[in-house]
Amino acid sequence: MATVTVQPETPTAPSQTHDVYRRRRILEWVAVHSLAVGLALLFVLPFVFIALTALMSDQQSLTRDLWPQPFAWHNLVDVWHTPGFPTWWRNTLVYAVAGTALTLLSSLPVAYALAYFRFRGRNVAMMVVIATMMLPPQVSIIPLYLVWAQDFHLTGTLWPLIIPLAFGDAFTIFLLRQFMLTVPRAYLEAAKIDGCGDFRTMVRVVIPMIKPAIAAVGLFQFFYCWNDYFGPQIYASENPGAWTLSYGLQSFKSAHHTDWNLTMAATVLVMAPVIILFFFAQKAFIEGVTLTGVKG
């Protein structure tokens, strides 16, 4: 290698420096791009294999073959017609939609109060919010389950999961509060001067200003409910009519006579709607995640 020392302040041989610089930049470009492409392939590969296996016959799914021969498209139909699959879909949708709506409705006022009201014990309240945020659900599940089961007889339904969301969700409250703090005080004061009470101010002034944040926490809550496995396992497992997709999918595999090809086909049907939704709402998704991460 030529021993050319390049000093930034005194470029002695301009063409040589330029060449070395350009070569380094090209190498960098190649390295970065090949790394990116390689990693991207790695990330996509699981999806590819899942899809391929979903289309295999059950015997072929047990072999080391990587390519289905022939393509068993009917697997997807078979899975959809498994008793209960559409029910699981519907239950999951109901849980996620109702849960998200209730969470937002009940958390907004609380976040508002914690952001703008001055009262003794506000710091304690914030600490309690954070404490409950960090609480694993397993800590409180047993007494709650006993109450729902023995006193209200609501096990075998999704109500024990939906009803508590009408009382606010700590994570949502926390994030909404952080966002509300970024609303310039001038707006709030103007509203007060106009004679708006707190409720009006919240609805007319603050909420419209933090719409992206509301969308983001709404999405978070939606996904939390959609992906919830522990909750439905505890409360809904005794009644197949109340199962959600996550619990149904898990039981799909442990039920008798279910092979990998059908399980993977079911996985495809469970993953696909979410991924498709993502492709169409990409901007909203990523903006939402970014906002909460940066501001939270």
Partner 1 sequence: MTHRLIRRRVAGTAVTAALALALTSCFGSSKGGASDNPDADVTITFWHGWSAPSEVKAIQATIDAFEKANPNIHVKAVGNITDDKINQALRAGGPSAPDVVSSFTTDNVGEFCNSHAFVDLAPFLSKSGIDPEKTFPGPQLSYTQYNGNQCALPLLSDAYGLYYNKDAFKAAGISAPPKTMSELDADAVKLTKASGDGYSQIGFMPDYHFYESTITHFGAQWAPTYFDAEGKSTVATDPAINSAMAWQKSLLDQLGGYDKLDKFRTSAGEEFSNNNAFMTGQVAMMIDGEWRAGMIDDSNSKVDYGVAPFPVPDDQAAQYGKGYITGTIVGIASTSEKQNAAWEFVKYLTTDTDAVVNFANAIHNVPSTIAALASPRVSQDPNFQQFIKIASDPNSTTTPASPNGGDYQLVLQNLGYDYQSGKQTDLQSGLDDAAHQIDTNLAQVQ
Partner 2 sequence: MTVTATPGSTSRSTARSARKARQRRLRRRERLTTLAFLSPWLLGTGLFFLYPLATTAYLSFTRYDGFLSPTWNGLDNWRFVFQDYPFFWPAMRNTLWFVVVLVTLRIIAGLALGMLVIHVKRGSTTLRTVFYAPFLAPPVAATLAFVFLLNPGTGPVNTILGHIGVTAPSWFNDPSWSKPALSLLALWGVGDLMVIFMAALLDVPRELYEASALDGAGAVNRFRHVTLPHLRPILLFAVITGVIATMQYYTEPIVAGQVASGQIAGSGNQFEPGYPGGSTLTLPQLVYNLGFQRFNIGAACVIAMVLFVLSMVFAAFLMRRGSGFLAGEDL
> Would you tell me which residues interact with partner 1 (CB under 8 A)?
58-59, 62, 119-121, 143, 146-147, 149-151, 153, 155-156, 237-240, 255-259
Q: At what angle do helices 211-227 and 170-180 cross, to 10 degrees?
A: 170
**Is 34 or 239 the residue whose CB approaches partner 1 more closely?**
239
Rounded Cα distance, 263 and 58, in Å: 10
Of partner 1, partner 2, none, which one does residue 10 interact with (CB within 5 to 8 Å by kind)? Answer: none
Residue 256 C-beta: closest distance to partner 1, Å: 4
Rounded to a whole number of angstroms, the minimum distance from the CB of residue 78 to partner 2 is 17
Is 6 a binding residue for partner 2 by CB under 8 A? The answer is no
To partner 1, the closest distance from the beta carbon of 72 in angstroms equals: 15
User: Which amino acid is present at 129?
Assistant: V
Question: Greatest CA span in the chain, whole angstroms?
Answer: 87
Site string for partner 2, 185-224 (x = CB under 8 A): ------------xx------------------------x-
159 vs 260, beta carbon nearer partner 2? 260
The span from the CA of 157 to the CA of 241, in Å, is 8
- 121 or 197: whose CB is closer to partner 1? 121
- CB atoms < 10 A from the CB of 63, how many? 9
Q: How far apart are CA 217 and CA 104, in angstroms?
A: 8
Number of Cβ within 10 Å of residue 263's Cβ equals 22
Distance from the Cα of residue 280 to its chain's centroid: 16
Report the nearest approach of partner 2 to the CB of residue 74 (Å).
Answer: 20
Picked from partner 2, partner 1, none, the partner binding residue 142 (CB below 5 to 8 A depending on kind) is partner 2
Q: How far is the CB of 214 from partner 1 (least distance, A)?
A: 29
- Return the residue matching tokens 């966002």: 179
Q: Restricting to residues 27-46, name those near partner 2 by CB under 8 A.
A: 32-33, 35-36, 39-40, 43-44, 46
Q: Which residues contact 210 (CB under 8 A, 6 or more apart)?
A: 176, 179, 180, 182, 183
- Applying CB under 8 A, which part among 13-21, 72-80, 81-89, 120-128 lies near partner 2? 120-128
Q: Which residues contact 216 (CB under 8 A, 6 or more apart)?
A: 175, 287, 288, 289, 291, 292
Distance (Å, rounded) from C-alpha 279 to C-alpha 273? 10
Q: What is the smallest separation between the CB atom of 65 and partner 1, expressed in angstroms?
A: 12
Packing angle of the helix pair 211-227, 282-295 (nearest 10 deg)? 100
- In whole angstroms, how close is the CB of 62 to partner 1 at the nearest point? 6
- 50 near partner 2, rule: CB under 8 A: yes
259 binds, among partner 2, partner 1, none (CB under 5 to 8 A by kind): partner 1
